[in-house]
Every structure is written in C-alpha cells, then in structure tokens.
C-alpha cells in the first residue's frame, strides 16, 4: 500500500526537533532509519500528519569513548556500529549483535536509536542494552533526562518516553578488559526476528565468574533482564549444574507468544538453549 499524505520536516538540531513535536502534537512522528515506521505507514497502521526526519539533527551521529564510558548517538547506523574498530575493541558484543540484525541493506539505514526507542519486542538491541545496564539519554520540552534501559520498556511498543521526547543517545560503561560476551540468536531465516535470543556478558577472576549479565530478546512483550539467572552465574565456577539452573531461571521469566515461530513451550525451551550456548561462548572468550 501507499502511505497516507503527510507534511515533511527536517530539523537541524535537537531543540528544533523538540519544538516541532510540541507545536505539531500527537499527529507528528519522528523518523530515523525508517525501517520500523515506514512499513507501518504503508499498512496504514500509522498515519502521521507530520513526519520529522532526524537525518540532519546535529550531534546524533557521534560515537564517543571516554575512558570507561561509551556514548553512541541515536542516529548511528547498525553498519557504523559494525565498522567502528574502537567500539569493537571496547565492546565487541555490539558488533556481534548488529551483524545479526536484518540484512546489510537495512543495516546501512537502520539506527541504534530507532532499534531501541520504538519498543518492538523483536528488536535485538534493547536486550543488549539491558545486559550492558545502559542509560538512554532523552530530550523533551521539560529538558533532558536519562533512564535505565532496564526501566524503559513497559509493554509492546509502549515505553517510558514522554510526549514530545526523543532519544538522543545511549550511554554505558565499557565492559571490563578480558570479559567474555555472546549474543546467541535462533531465527527461522536470515533477517528474521529471533525465535529466542540471549545476550550474555561474563567477567572471570581466579577461575570463577565474578560478574554476569543475561538478557533476552523476543520471548515476552518487552526485552527481559534475567536478574535471577545473572545472580546464579555470578560467584560460580560456571559448572554445568549452575549454568543449567541459570538457563532454567531465564526461561522461567519468559512469556512468549505462540505464533509462526513456534508454540510457547518450544520458545521457552529455546530460551534456555540460547542462554546455555551464550554462557559457553562467553566463558571461552573470557578465558
């Protein structure tokens, strides 16, 4: 189908964007890479009267690595995340996850901000940001604020973004040197959403796991930070029994839909499989 008619706006700054959103109200939508919004517009599931393009907004394409802090602008594309050697050295799971999103054509246009901000439970970056304990930087009519990725998602396509706010950047602490990482994703075909996926970050010290973080993709109506599973792994030797308990704890918090990707119990089972695989890979990389 063809989208409905709309007026097109291309602001040059965050302030101008916020002013447009305030003036145009709820009939306006911002567009980043367009791979979430445009298909909805073609199906007339979204019919904005005003489209605000973020491509020319200054400062949204910056990547900054300052000591142990990493800040990535909302308009940085998945391709740019993959190509950044500095990011790959500081946080290699970013590259690994980006490479599993859709296909190269989409990754050239699709942005980090678009992936994390629209609340699509099938998107890959939200769970990773929860595993990294990232902060989302927001700008709106009341000024700027930050919110934890773990607190941002409320339901499918519903987030903590207030009326008139946009996400401007993602910020997180670089994982410790020598950490292990893995993003394991089971999907029906290349470019598809995950049937189930798991992001795992591990830090080893003296042969034991001193810190662990586990998060899950597309097995509920929001991304899930698997807090109990992370706690089970932390302080352990990552022996088989402990890893199995963690995998079962992660699967237990899921609430997947029964759809073309499989029935509920299959997707729960697959969640545990993805966690076990991710822990094994992360452990190998840390060692």
CA 245, 172, 157, 62 dihedral sign is: negative
Residue range 123-153, pLDDT digits in tens: 999 999 999 999 999 999 999 999 999 999 9
Residue 2 domain-assigned (yes or no) = no
Average pLDDT over residues 77-103: 97
* Element of type H or E holding 245: helix 240-252
Q: Are residues 100 and 154 in the same domain?
A: yes
Residue range 229-260, pLDDT digits in tens: 999 999 999 999 999 999 999 999 999 999 99
pLDDT at position 191, please?
Answer: 85
pLDDT at position 192, please?
Answer: 92
Q: Are residues 68 and 168 in the same domain?
A: yes
pLDDT at position 127, please?
Answer: 98
Average pLDDT over residues 53-81: 96
Q: Are residues 151 and 216 in the same domain?
A: no
Look at residue 45 and tell me whether its pLDDT is greater than 90. no
Q: Determine the length of the chain.
A: 287
pLDDT at position 4, please?
Answer: 87
Look at residue 274 and tell me whether its pLDDT is greater than 80. yes
pTM: 0.95
Query: In which band, very low, low, confident or very high, does the pLDDT at 216 lie, cut at 50, 70 and 90?
Result: very high
Angle at alpha carbon of residue 82, lines to 10 and 37, rounded to 5°: 35
- The mean predicted confidence, pLDDT, of the chain is 95
Range of the domain at 156: 63-173
Look at residue 76 and tell me whether its pLDDT is greater than 90. yes
Q: Are residues 262 and 247 in the same domain?
A: yes
Under 8 Å between Cβ of 13 and 60 = no
Q: Are residues 96 and 39 in the same domain?
A: no
Residue 195 domain-assigned (yes or no) = yes
Give the domain-ending residue among 173, 191, 219: 173
pLDDT at position 18, please?
Answer: 97
Residue 1 domain-assigned (yes or no) = no
Give the domain-ending residue among 173, 208, 228: 173
Q: Are residues 46 and 112 in the same domain?
A: no
Query: In which band, very low, low, confident or very high, does the pLDDT at 39 lie, cut at 50, 70 and 90?
Result: confident
Residue 255 half-sphere exposure, CB side, CA atoms within 13 Å? 9
Residue that is written with structure tokens 């019919």 in the block: 47
Average pLDDT over residues 46-67: 94
Give the rounded percent of residues in the chain with a pLDDT score beyond 70.
100
Residue range 151-209, pLDDT digits in tens: 999 999 999 999 999 999 999 999 998 999 999 999 999 889 999 999 999 999 988 99
Residue 57 domain-assigned (yes or no) = no
Q: Are residues 256 and 220 in the same domain?
A: yes
Average pLDDT over residues 96-104: 95
In the chain, the number of structural domains is: 3
Q: Are residues 113 and 151 in the same domain?
A: yes
Give the domain-ending residue among 149, 173, 197: 173
Q: Are residues 194 and 221 in the same domain?
A: yes
d(CA 83, CA 94): 11
Q: Are residues 213 and 137 in the same domain?
A: no
Q: Are residues 164 and 243 in the same domain?
A: no
Q: CATH code at 210?
A: 3.30.390.50
Look at residue 86 and tell me whether its pLDDT is greater than 90. yes
Q: How far is CA 237 from CA 65, 183, 213, in A?
A: 32, 21, 15
Residue 180: CB partners within 8 Å, gap ≥ 6? 200, 201, 202, 203, 204, 281, 282, 283, 284, 285, 286, 287
Q: Are residues 74 and 168 in the same domain?
A: yes
d(CA 59, CA 204): 36
Residue range 219-229, pLDDT digits in tens: 999 999 999 99
Q: How far is CA 144 from CA 41, 45, 82, 165, 173, in A?
A: 29, 30, 28, 9, 20
């Amino acid at each position: 189908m063809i989208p409905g008619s709309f007026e097109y706006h291309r602001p040059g700054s965050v302030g101008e964007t916020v002013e447009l959103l305030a003036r145009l109200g709820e009939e306006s939508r911002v567009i980043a890479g367009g791979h979430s919004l445009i298909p909805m517009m073609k199906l007339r599931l979204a019919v904005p009267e005003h489209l605000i393009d973020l491509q020319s907004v200054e400062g949204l394409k910056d990547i900054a690595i300052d000591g142990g802090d990493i800040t990535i602008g909302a308009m940085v594309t998945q391709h740019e995340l993959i190509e950044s050697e500095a990011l790959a050295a500081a946080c290699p799971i970013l590259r690994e996850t980006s490479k599993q999103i859709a296909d190269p054509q989409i990754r050239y246009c699709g942005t980090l901000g678009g992936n994390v901000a629209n609340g699509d439970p099938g998107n890959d970056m939200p769970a990773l940001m929860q595993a990294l304990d990232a902060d989302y930087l927001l700008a709106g009519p009341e000024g700027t604020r930050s919110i934890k990725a773990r607190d941002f998602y409320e339901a499918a396509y519903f987030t903590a973004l207030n009326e008139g706010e946009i996400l401007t950047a993602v910020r997180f602490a670089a994982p410790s040197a020598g950490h292990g990482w893995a993003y394991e994703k089971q999907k029906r075909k290349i470019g598809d959403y995950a049937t189930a996926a798991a992001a795992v970050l591990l830090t080893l010290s003296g042969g034991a796991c001193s810190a662990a973080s586990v998060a899950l993709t597309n097995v509920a109506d929001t991304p899930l930070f698997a807090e109990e599973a992370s706690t089970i792994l932390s302080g352990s030797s990552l022996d088989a029994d402990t890893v199995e308990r963690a995998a079962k704890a992660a699967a237990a918090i899921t609430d997947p839909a029964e759809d073309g990707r499989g029935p509920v119990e299959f997707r729960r089972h697959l969640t545990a499989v993805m966690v076990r695989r991710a822990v094994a890979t992360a452990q190998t990389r840390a060692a």
